[in-house]
Amino acid sequence: MYKRILVPMALDHGLSPETLEIARALLQEGGEVVALHVYETPSGAVGAYLDEEMVRAGFEMARTRMAEKLAEHPGVQAVLKKGHSYRTIVDYSTEITADCIVIGSHKPGLRDYFLGSTAARVVRHAPCAVHVTR
């Protein structure tokens, strides 16, 4: 059983309810579940065409979608961070001294074997236990 579990959430995937339930099952009494969404700000060529207000609106839309997804999961702390997905997940898990990360993963394609998916990178670099679900 774990006392602090981090659940990274990709708001455009449907795995969040499942990963949150797994986290609750692994949580010790009095423990804490923290749901994290990493908002990747547009960069490079795309970023050059977006003004600051559009980026801010996208961030606020992510905050709203996260609140909607967590509405049926009372007691889960919601955190929204800007950054690169896997690196922010690993860094934030260290910052909050998470005991476990429960992360969803899609079925890997050929590209993932060469570059690695977010879940695969989290597994390789996390400072704590990682539970991956598909």
Residue whose structure tokens are 């977006």: 50
Rounded percentage of the chain residues whose pLDDT exceeds 90? 62
The rounded distance, in Å, linking the Cα atoms of 16 and 56 is 24
Q: Which long-range contacts (CB under 8 A, 24 or more apart) does 53-57 make?
A: none
pTM of the model: 0.88
For residue 28, CA distances in Å to 20, 24, 97 come to 14, 8, 15
The rounded distance, in Å, linking the Cα atoms of 121 and 113 is 11
Domains of the chain are 2-133 (3.40.50.620)
Q: pLDDT of 61-117, one tens digit each? A: 999 999 999 998 999 999 999 999 999 999 999 999 999 999 988 766 655 554 458
